[in-house]
Chain A
Amino acid sequence: MLHNFTTQFWPNTIDGLAIGAIYALIALGYTMVYGVMRLINFAHGEIFMIGTFASLAVMNLVGFQAPLGGLALVGVFVLCLAGSMAASGGAAVALEFIAYRPLRKHGSPRIAALIAAIGASLFLQELFAQIVVPKIFAPGHGRDFIGTPRLMNKETLFSIGNGVVRNDKLLVIIAAIVMMILLDFFVNKTKVGRGIRATSMDPQTATLMGVNINQIVMLTFLVGGVMAGAAGLFYVLVFEVTKYTIGFILGIKAFTAAVMGGIGNLRGALLGGFILGLIENWGASVTGSEWKDVIAFSVLVLILLFRPTGILGESLQQARA
């Protein structure tokens, strides 16, 4: 048991950071939306799922045979990223417009939004299982795992201990950190970002100060969706598989990551994602990988018990009453 932990420490650390980066990118969407609207956007996992399928669609459109290299790889990668970000971002904005905006206008209770989110989540899953996947990707296999083509050769760059650092995993980790820095800059340093922070602190006063709340909310969903789209591409890049339900469990884990870091806190999402990925993989080496999800949720419960506001505290900007 513990023997596995020590011998597999480095491989698990690298895997944990790679999946943690993906959790972190999805967690951003939860954290942004929660920060601005105090709403758990339960359909966010499906936004991520749409991102995985969108990148697969772009790959199919480009239609390469073997894994790419050099400039071709960069070009296709950027195309895929643009495609998945556009699809996920668009879906997130549409979701806000169709499912949440009417509720917001009526000042509906949060539980109504939660039910609407669950409804939207079911709708999107079934839409892919019944129509999108059978029609476009794999006729007759709407409910199966869909393999995706290998975009880049997976090479070992270097190793730490007995852990092998593969290029795709490193790319994902670095990309997540870079995107986080960009987003942090956007929220903290730009004028629109100030609007987001103002809305998050006090929507009414923000309105009085001339902030257009509807625009800010839409933008928040867009940014969250774009990040989830990127996560979708990275997931496909590393794991080379997707499915219509893939957003469910990843969505919950990403939410766990967001809560762990302190929901509403952008840097917390990154930290929470990495920590969750690490703990999950380290724990699984002790207990066996079938208990991975139990470990993740138990960690969540423990963190909430001892530090309910998460590791970094919950706020887009500062502590709230």
Chain B
Amino acid sequence: MSTANASRGANPLRRIGAAYDRMRDRWAVAPAWLRWIVYILCIGIVLLPSSEAVSDFLAPESGMVVWFFPVGIYILLALGLNVVIGHAGLLDLGYVAFFAIGAYAMAILGVKFGWDFWAILPAGILIAAVSGILLGAPTLRLRGDYLAIVTLGFGEIIRIIAVNTGYLGKSNGIPNIPTPPSIAGVQIGDLDVFGYKLLALDPRPFYYLLVALCVVTIIFVRRLQKSRVGRAWTALREDEDAAEVMGVPTFRFKLLSFAIGASIGGAAGVMYATATQFVVPDNFQFMLSATILAGVVLGGAGNIPGVIIGAFLVGWLPERFRALQDYRVMIFGAALVLMMALRPEGLLPSRTRKSELAEGTGGMGSLGAEVAGPTQTAPEVGE
């Protein structure tokens, strides 16, 4: 892709990427103590939004609740979707289904069976994972585009089932979902760290719980990415046939990525339901899948810091510019188009992913360039 290389530097977005690449090189040889300082700094930054001053500055019109939803939940969902899209290279357009399954698991088990949040969380994750396998088992043999449309259909089916089933409260949803059990007495300043009351009253305890969940997820996904499983995913993303020939059981690994992505989505759903204490089918529209997908791709699929930043942006920007309320979705749409034209690999792409894209043989295939091998360029005649 000579055109892409030639234009590097001319485009400010590419400069961000170049700076990020240098940073990554330094990070690769950074000593352990430096890494720990950075980790602690990151945690510190993440805890900042819970202070009034920072919140007022970053989201003046919606308040602290923004850091739980949409920002925090979007980040967790994006981490999960990244496993499916970024790592395994499977295009899932119905990811919201697993979010919905987690949320409804919390609602049903909590309201109708009286379970505890801490019991429901693993149960919800398990249910979501099983549904991921149930969806994946028949469909994962399909090619990319077909998989996209089947998952999209699945997402809609789940929502329509919720709308039509009396047991799930039809379109009115399920109210009075229990919050996690509070632990009194653990106080930092004016805050009950484990005092789960109302999200609108004090979102901070929920926010911290969500941050903890995100941190666990990041560590888990990161370890996975560096393991045999992660290497298998990379192999099947880059060339499925070659991976199969090399003895990678591609179908099983695809199924695994689906199950893991689904379980992270389920965890986000459980968290969302317990915090808002209320689920309705309208919360689980295709729009949400599209937004999370946009976050993953904007940030740079396959790269965890990129994905977090992408999800943060798609969650935060519309809240920050509420003054433009009526036009924000329109601007968001136009921004997606523009972003894809300027920097389709995302803000901070993963390096292997970028090289795949440059070859034009990435897991998703390239537009009008499928036939181009590593040494050829995309057909570009008649300009």
Q: Do A and B bind each other?
A: yes
Q: Which residue of B lies closest to A287 (CB)?
A: B164
A sample of 18 inter-chain contacts (CB < 8 A) reads A37-B368, A38-B368, A38-B370, A102-B341, A107-B360, A114-B91, A118-B293, A119-B333, A125-B329, A127-B330, A204-B371, A213-B381, A255-B149, A294-B157, A297-B153, A297-B154, A300-B150, A304-B146
Number of interchain pairs (Cβ within 8 Å): 195
Interface of B is mostly: helix
Q: Known contacts being A130-B327, A297-B154, is A108 close to B340, with CB within 8 Å?
A: yes
CB of A318 closer than 8 Å to a CB of B: no
**A254 CB → nearest B CB, Å:** 11
Could you tell me the distance between the alpha carbons of A291 and B163 in the complex, rounded to whole angstroms?
Answer: 10
A252 to B286, CA, bound (A): 11
A304 touches B150 (CB 8 A): yes
- The answer to whether residues A122 and B371 also contact, given A40-B145, A300-B150 and a CB cut-off of 8 A, is no
Q: Give the distance in Å from the alpha carbon of A213 to the alpha carbon of B379 in the complex.
A: 8
B327 to chain A minimum Cβ distance, whole angstroms, is 6
Task: Please state if A120 and B344 are interface contacts (CB–CB under 8 Å).
Answer: no
A214 nearest CB neighbor, chain B only: B382
The answer, yes or no, to whether A290 is at the interface (CB within 8 Å) is: yes
Bound CA–CA A123/B54 (angstroms):
31
Q: Please indicate the chain B residues that have their CB under 8 angstroms from the CB of A275 in the complex.
A: none
Q: Which residues of A contact B111 (CB under 8 A)?
A: none
List 18 additional contacts besides A114-B148, A119-B335, A127-B330; criterion CB under 8 Å: A103-B344, A105-B383, A107-B367, A107-B369, A108-B357, A111-B364, A112-B340, A112-B345, A116-B341, A118-B336, A119-B332, A120-B336, A122-B332, A207-B379, A248-B286, A263-B145, A290-B163, A297-B153
Residues of A within 8 A of B329 (CB): 122, 125-126
Q: Is the CB of A212 within 8 A of B382?
A: yes
Q: Is the CB of A122 within 8 A of B330?
A: yes
Asked whether B143 is an interface residue with its Cβ less than 8 Å from the other chain, the reply is yes
Decide if B221 is an interface residue (CB 8 Å cutoff).
no
B144, B145, B153: which contacts A252 (Cβ < 8 A)?
A: B153
Bound complex: CA A114 to CA B344 (Å): 11
Interface size on A, residues (CB 8 A): 60
Instruction: Determine if A305 is an interface residue (Cβ-Cβ < 8 Å).
Output: yes
Of residues 84 to 142 in A, which have CB atoms within 8 Å of B's CB atoms?
Answer: 98-100, 102-116, 118-127, 130
Residues of A within 8 A of B369 (CB): 107
- The secondary structure that dominates the A interface is helix
9 closest Cβ pairs, A-B complex: A119-B336, A123-B333, A107-B378, A122-B333, A112-B344, A297-B153, A126-B330, A102-B341, A116-B340
Q: Are B1 and A110 in contact (CB under 8 A)?
A: no
Most buried by A among B145, B149, B294, B334: B149
- Interface residue ranges, B against A (CB under 8 Å): 1, 3-4, 85, 91, 138-139, 141-146, 148-150, 152-154, 156-157, 160-161, 163-164, 286-287, 290, 293-294, 297-298, 301, 326-327, 329-330, 332-337, 339-341, 344-345, 357, 360, 362, 364-372, 376-383
> Which residue of chain A has the shortest Cβ distance to B155 in the bound complex?
A297
A165 surroundings in chain B (CB, below 8 A): none
> Contacts of A263 on B, CB cut-off 8 Å?
145
Contact A214 B333 (CB under 8 A): no
Interface flag for A301 (CB, 8 Å): yes
Contact (A202, B330) CB under 8 Å given A109-B357, A304-B150:
no
A308: interface (CB < 8 Å)? yes
| Chain B residues whose CB sits within 8 angstroms of the CB of A130 once the complex forms | 326-327, 330
Cβ distance B363 to chain A, nearest Cβ, rounded Å = 8
